[in-house]
Amino acid sequence: MALEHPITADELRKHSSPENCWLVVNGVVWDLGDFAPEHPGGAAVIHKYAGQDASAVYNSIHAPSLIQNELEASKRIGKIDESSMGPGPDVSETKTPASPSTAKNGGGRRRPLLTLLSSHDFEKAASENLSDKAWAFFSSAATDCITKEANAAFFGRMWLRPRVLRNVRDISTKTKMLGNDVSLPLFVSPTAMVRLAHPDGETVIAKGCSKSGIPHTISTNASYPMADITSCADTTFFFQLYVNKDRAASEKLLKQAEQCGMRAVFVTVDQPTPAKREADERVKADAVALTPTPNGAVATNDSRGGGLGRTMAGYIDSTTNWEDIKWLRSVTRLPIVLKGVQTAQDAIRAVEHGVDGLLIGNHGGRSLDTSTPAILVLLELQLNCPEIFKHIEVYIDGGIRRGTDIFKAVCLGAKAVGMGRPFLYAANYGPEGVEHLIEIMRDEFETTMRMMGCTDLSQLHPGLLNTWELSRMVPRLTDAPQHLRGPQSKL
């Protein structure tokens, strides 16, 4: 049905009703009348832009390739006659559609990358550089943000106990995650919608990881199709899965992940229902197109303010339970890691169900406020079932901001730690930003290793920490299986 001649603005405007609904996206006119009712972000936003150019709002969260991938070719009407389009009010709010993330500050006015000395500096820069909507979506957490802040603060309540007079000239920070070599016990936790931070979205994180040799976990809600991400860089990739109410959609994603060479699936288990993130919901979402994510997830808008987080979580299957691990095993050959385990009880259960790994964490405090700070859960495992670390790989994320935080988590049994938000903030600076952040973390971690008198990760153990302030706050299980308890607590 594509027209040969460019479509003029006058012709476009004739199709500005729900029944007759054309939109321009990046110079191409599409007929979205049939699609609108299926649009996960709701038909309203499509109808709002009927007969107009919707590029700006589209580009703010979608990869350019998405619309071609998702729609049938028959819906493509043709090219727009750019000369006929005036600067209409519909695009006035975002003049630079190619750089949605720099809405607040132009690139040239940002703090220079080399002046950023820590993950905290990246956060501060992001608060200055990102649009209000992006900053709200990335930085927010559940309700009063108590868990978000405690995640980080609790690391500062454990003291290091350095051992002196060790030869620490040559050290190694190498380890393995599920058999894959990594240069540091660090990986990028899955984060949604990186395009809000940088027009190239998740690819900038992938490229940064590639240079530094650390794994990248790709979110179901990524801005870019996963193949676009995995093909752009050479590093270890993991796939994060929200189980879809439509199980076939999830199975399709798992197949794609395998085909893309991903090495494990991180199944999120700590968000069976949309979370309440007030800061996110306060920023009006009406100018942002809420659409299906490229990986096929289905989201719905609702009346609670339209926060991006709540909207995107709409397709998640709240019936998922322990029995579904069998289903997962049946549809993928990837190792399975449960993301969001928060008690020793569930960690033990995970071992019993034969999964390959655990990611201790609480979604960065984004799911349920006052859920237990992540490092306290790790300590709970050490005090109740220290032998568990011999049976399963345990990771942790939430609040890790310093090399000392990584060190402490590894001392308490973590095989590796994930960082999420800091990488979103670094992505704003492109691949160089991501690489710079990783090298900062590496320098801090190596410095910590040497100061602690350690030369490789096998030397890290709980006795290098003073956890006495926190260990009094740890629940003691009376029914942990004997073989996981270990002979005696090492703390």
Does residue 166 interact with a copy of itself by CB under 8 A?
yes
* Interaction mask 339-378, a copy of itself, x per CB under 8 A: -xxxx-xx---------------x----xxxxxxx--x--
Cα of 434 vs its chain's centroid, Å: 14
Q: In this structure, how many other beta carbons lie within 10 angstroms of the beta carbon of residue 491?
A: 17
Binding part of the chain for a copy of itself, among 7-15, 38-46, 83-91, 315-323 by CB under 8 A, reads 315-323
Per CB under 8 A, contacts with a copy of itself among 107-126 are 115, 117-118
Residues 6+ apart with CB under 8 A from 276: 142, 143, 304, 310
Does residue 155 interact with a copy of itself by CB under 8 A?
yes
Nearest to 126 by CA among 380, 409, 425: 425
Does residue 198 interact with a copy of itself by CB under 8 A?
no
451 half-sphere exposure, CB direction, 13 A CA radius: 11
Please give the size of the binding site for a copy of itself, defined by CB under 8 A.
75
Binding part of the chain for a copy of itself, among 27-35, 133-141, 200-208, 276-284 by CB under 8 A, reads 276-284
User: Which of residues 94, 104, 473, 485 is near a copy of itself by CB under 8 A?
Assistant: 473
65 half-sphere exposure, CB direction, 13 A CA radius: 11
Concerning whether 363 is annotated as a catalytic residue, the answer is yes
Does residue 384 interact with a copy of itself by CB under 8 A?
no
Secondary structure class of 415 (helix, strand, coil): coil
Does residue 256 interact with a copy of itself by CB under 8 A?
no
Specify the long-range contacts of residues 12-16, CB closer than 8 Å, at least 24 apart.
Answer: 12/51, 12/52, 12/80, 13/51, 14/51, 15/50, 15/51, 16/50, 16/51, 16/52
* Interaction mask 47-76, a copy of itself, x per CB under 8 A: ------------------------------
Q: At what angle do helices 324-331 and 247-259 cross, to 10 degrees?
A: 40
User: Which of residues 102, 212, 384, 404 is near a copy of itself by CB under 8 A?
Assistant: 404
Does residue 305 interact with a copy of itself by CB under 8 A?
yes
| CB of 331 or CB of 451, closer to a copy of itself | 451
Residues 6+ apart with CB under 8 A from 346: none
Q: Which amino acid is at 200?
A: D
Concatenated DSSP letters for 137-189? HHH--STT-HHHHHHHHGGGGSEE----S---SS----EEETTEEESSSEEEP
Residues 6+ apart with CB under 8 A from 335: 178, 263, 264, 265, 356, 357
Identify the H or E element spanning 410.
helix 403-411
Among 5, 363, 391, 436, the active-site one is 363
| CB of 228 or CB of 369, closer to a copy of itself | 369
Q: Are 338 and 371 in contact (CB under 8 A)?
A: no
Does residue 240 interact with a copy of itself by CB under 8 A?
no
User: Which of residues 66, 158, 406, 409 is near a copy of itself by CB under 8 A?
Assistant: 158
User: Which of residues 24, 77, 209, 269 is near a copy of itself by CB under 8 A?
Assistant: 269
Binding part of the chain for a copy of itself, among 87-95, 165-173, 212-220, 425-433 by CB under 8 A, reads 165-173
Binding part of the chain for a copy of itself, among 70-78, 140-148, 182-190, 258-266 by CB under 8 A, reads 140-148
Cα–Cα distance, 26 to 54 (Å, whole number): 8
Q: Strands 180-182, 175-177: parallel, antiparallel or unpaired by DSSP?
A: antiparallel
Per CB under 8 A, contacts with a copy of itself among 420-449 are 443-444, 446-448
Does residue 83 interact with a copy of itself by CB under 8 A?
no
| CB of 68 or CB of 447, closer to a copy of itself | 447
Does residue 213 interact with a copy of itself by CB under 8 A?
no
User: Which of residues 39, 207, 402, 442 is near a copy of itself by CB under 8 A?
Assistant: 402
For the chain, give the number of residues.
491
Q: How far is the CB of 173 from a copy of itself (least distance, A)?
A: 13
User: Which of residues 223, 320, 332, 382 is near a copy of itself by CB under 8 A?
Assistant: 320
How big is the chain by its Cα radius of gyration, in Å? 24
Q: How far is the CB of 481 from a copy of itself (least distance, A)?
A: 17
Does residue 1 interact with a copy of itself by CB under 8 A?
no
| CB of 333 or CB of 472, closer to a copy of itself | 472
Binding part of the chain for a copy of itself, among 18-26, 229-237, 382-390, 469-477 by CB under 8 A, reads 469-477
Concatenated DSSP letters for 192-253? S-GGGT-TTTHHHHHHHHHHHT--EEEPTT-SS-HHHHHTT--S-EEEEEPPBSSHHHHHHH
Nearest to 300 by CA among 110, 309, 93, 105: 309
348 half-sphere exposure, CB direction, 13 A CA radius: 18
| CB of 336 or CB of 426, closer to a copy of itself | 336
Q: Which residues are catalytic?
A: 363
